[in-house]
């Protein structure tokens, strides 16, 4: 009902029994052609704004006056070098067969292999490792197999590795290109010249790949451990190093072979407002925080303070940190200084550290008390170190009391000794109950 109100529709549009009869015939009258009733209802009972594609339009329409026949006709393929005639079914329109080359002939691409003459060979291409016959054979195979060196290596008469064949092919092509070029500048952009084939690199790369492939699971795990370790060391080194653009090379250990030839280098270019965990590698140490701050080219004083606070907080648990903050609030100190100058930040940091010390001391005193009390009472009812019994208020009052009672009882004792005669018994009687109270606090 409310929904209709919001939509602005008239209420009571629900068909009452009186309306029921006229309605169905009305609806069925409106049933559209072309689409089903349900689909029409989905569109909100309105014809679509855009004219939809008429289904009959999708059928291919052949001009009815054309006469189509299919004939079994011969054809030739320009891609073939022989004169083979084959037959296939051809769609003939009005008695005219289609013209043009075999439609798949255009896909017959091949690689342009450089062909050298004998003199060129004598002049530029002789090589102690390769005979002329072998080189010719290689080029022939390259042409036949479109530079698919794996196949070529397989077909090559003498056993040469793929890398050797590639090396020979590319260096010959390069030499020819350079020899034939009018000037060296012309061919400088040719891909063969721009990026020459590097045999040793290729061999190394393939060897490395095969090593990775053949690595056992154990080896994988060892590698990972080493890399993690290396990364950690790199980060530690980074924190203490002061270089212009900190870039480190992670040296791999001898036993676990690093697969890639390019040893991973690490660059840390911190942007200045970043989650601290990304920028500061080991924030546990204050010195390392300072060092990492110095590595930034520029930073905000508040950011530096945050980092230092985090560093000093890292040794404390969450509860302790909360207590530090509560203490700061109790003291009336802003958790984040309003005027974060260098001096203010330094003071703030020192204050935080002192509060931490204070809280730690409180804990220690608590613990000592618990220890002491269990020793004194000798009671099994009280378990040592149950600080829950003690309501802890960071207020010197309680401690002052303990302090006073302990000292006073000692002092009283001394007084007793001095007085010798009078005043002794009543004070000593007080001694015991008081001391026992100290443990119950």
Partner 1 sequence: MSHSQTLPLKRQQGEQPPSDDGSSAIKPSRLKISLPSEDSDKKNANKRLKDVEICVPIVYGTIAFYLGRKASESQSHKWTVYVRGASNEDLSVVVKKVVFQLHPSFNNPTRVVESPPFEISECGWGEFEIAITLFFHSDACEKQLDLYHHLKLYPEDESGPQTTKKPVVVESYNEVVFPEPSEGFVARVQNHPAVVVPRLPVGLNLPSPVPFDPMNDKERGGTKDHPLSQWFLNFSEADELLKLAASRQQVQAHIVKLRRQLNLLEGLPQSKQPSGYECT
> What residues from 275 to 334 belong to the interface with partner 1 (CB under 8 A)?
287, 290-291, 293-294, 296-302, 304, 327-328, 331-334
Cα angle at 278 between 315 and 338, to 5 degrees? 70
Applying CB under 8 A, which of residues 68, 209, 346, 393 lies at the interface with partner 1?
Answer: 346
Q: Which residues pair with 267 in a beta bridge?
A: 247
Residue 291 contacts residue 242 (beta carbons within 8 Å):
yes
Of 3 and 262, the one with the shorter C-beta distance to partner 1 is 262
Give the three-state DSSP class for 102.
coil
Query: Could you give the string, one character per residue 228-247, with x where binding to partner 1 holds by CB under 8 A and - elsewhere?
Result: ------------xxxxxxxx
Find the shortest distance in angstroms from Cβ 270 to partner 1. 8
338 binds partner 1 (CB under 8 A): yes
Q: Which helix (H) or strand (E) holds 292?
A: helix 286-295
Exposure of 348 in the CB half-sphere (CA atoms within 13 A): 25
Q: Alpha-carbon distance 54 to 183, whole Å?
A: 65
Distance CA 136, CA 117 (A): 10
Q: How many residues bind partner 1 (CB under 8 A)?
A: 75
| Closest CB 339 distance from partner 1, rounded Å | 5
Write out the binding residues for partner 1, residues 353-392 only, by CB under 8 A: 354-355, 357-358, 361-362, 364-365, 368-369, 371-372, 375-376, 378
Shortest Å distance, C-beta 170 to partner 1: 23
Could you give the CA distance from residue 205 to residue 218 in angstroms, rounded to a whole number? Answer: 22
Count Cβ atoms within 10 A of the Cβ of residue 292 and give its class: 0-12 exposed, 13-18 middle, 19 or more buried: buried
Closest CB to partner 1 among 199 and 351?
351
Print the binding letters for residues 105-134 with partner 1: x by CB under 8 A, - otherwise.
Answer: ------------------------------
Q: How far apart are CA 362 and CA 399, in angstroms?
A: 10
Site string for partner 1, 391-410 (x = CB under 8 A): ---x-x--xx-xx--x----
* Cβ neighbours of 248 (radius 10 Å): 20
Pick from 211, 263, 278, 335: which binds partner 1 (CB under 8 A)? 263
Minimum CB separation of residue 423 from partner 1 in Å reads 19
Residue closer to partner 1 (CB basis): 105 or 242 = 242
**Are 411 and 392 a contacting pair, CB within 8 Å?**
no
Q: Which of 93, 233, 249, 335 binds partner 1 (CB under 8 A)?
A: 249
d(CA 229, CA 231): 5
**CA 381 – CA 227 distance, rounded (Å):** 55
Between residues 371 and 440, which has the closer beta carbon with respect to partner 1?
Answer: 371
Task: For the CB of residue 282, give the shortest distance to partner 1 in the complex, in Å.
Answer: 15
Residues in region 20-79 near partner 1 by CB under 8 A: none
In the complex, what is the shortest distance from the CB of residue 265 to partner 1, in angstroms, rounded to a whole number?
A: 6
3-state secondary structure of 403: helix
Give the E-state strand segments of 2-161 in sequence order. 68-75, 86-93
Site for partner 1, residues 180 to 199, rule: CB under 8 A: none
């Amino acid at each position: 009902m409310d929904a209709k109100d919001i939509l602005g529709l008239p209420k009571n549009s629900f068909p009452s029994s009186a309306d029921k009869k006229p309605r169905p015939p009305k609806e069925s009258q409106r049933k559209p052609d072309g689409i089903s009733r349900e689909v029409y209802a989905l569109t909100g009972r309105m014809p679509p704004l855009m004219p939809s594609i008429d289904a009959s339009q999708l059928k291919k329409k052949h001009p009815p006056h054309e006469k189509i026949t299919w004939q079994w006709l011969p054809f030739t393929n320009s891609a073939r070098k022989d004169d083979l005639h084959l037959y296939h079914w051809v769609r003939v329109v009005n008695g005219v067969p289609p013209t043009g080359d075999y439609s798949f002939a255009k896909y017959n691409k091949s690689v342009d292999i450089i062909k050298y003459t004998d003199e060129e060979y004598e002049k530029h291409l002789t090589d102690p490792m390769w005979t002329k016959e072998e080189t010719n054979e290689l080029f022939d195979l390259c042409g036949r197999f479109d530079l698919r060196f794996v196949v070529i290596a397989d077909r090559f008469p003498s056993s040469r590795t793929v890398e050797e064949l590639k090396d020979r092919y590319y260096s010959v092509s390069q030499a020819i290109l350079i020899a034939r070029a009018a000037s060296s500048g012309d061919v400088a952009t040719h891909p063969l010249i721009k990026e020459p084939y590097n045999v040793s690199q290729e061999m190394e790369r393939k060897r490395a790949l095969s090593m990775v492939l053949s690595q056992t699971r154990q080896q994988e795990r060892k590698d990972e451990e080493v890399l993690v370790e290396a990364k950690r060391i790199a980060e530690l080194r980074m924190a203490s190093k002061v270089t212009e653009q900190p870039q480190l090379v992670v040296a791999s250990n001898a036993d676990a072979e690093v697969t890639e030839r390019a040893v991973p280098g690490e660059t840390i270019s911190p942007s200045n407002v970043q989650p601290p965990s990304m920028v500061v590698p080991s924030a546990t140490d204050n010195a390392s925080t300072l060092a990492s701050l110095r590595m930034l080219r520029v930073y905000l004083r508040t950011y530096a303070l945050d980092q230092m606070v985090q560093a000093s907080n890292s040794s404390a648990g969450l509860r302790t940190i909360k207590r530090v903050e509560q203490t700061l609030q109790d003291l009336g100190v802003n958790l984040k200084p309003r005027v974060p100058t260098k001096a203010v930040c330094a003071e703030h940091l020192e204050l935080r550290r002192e509060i931490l010390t204070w809280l730690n001391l409180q804990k220690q005193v608590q613990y000592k008390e618990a220890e002491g009390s269990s020793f004194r009472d000798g009671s099994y009812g009280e378990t040592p170190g149950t600080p829950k019994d003690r309501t802890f208020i960071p207020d010197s009052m309680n401690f002052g009391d303990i302090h006073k009672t302990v000292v006073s009882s000692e002092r009283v004792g001394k007084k007793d000794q001095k007085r010798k005669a009078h005043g002794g018994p009543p004070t000593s009687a007080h001694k015991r109950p008081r001391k026992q109270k100290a443990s119950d606090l």
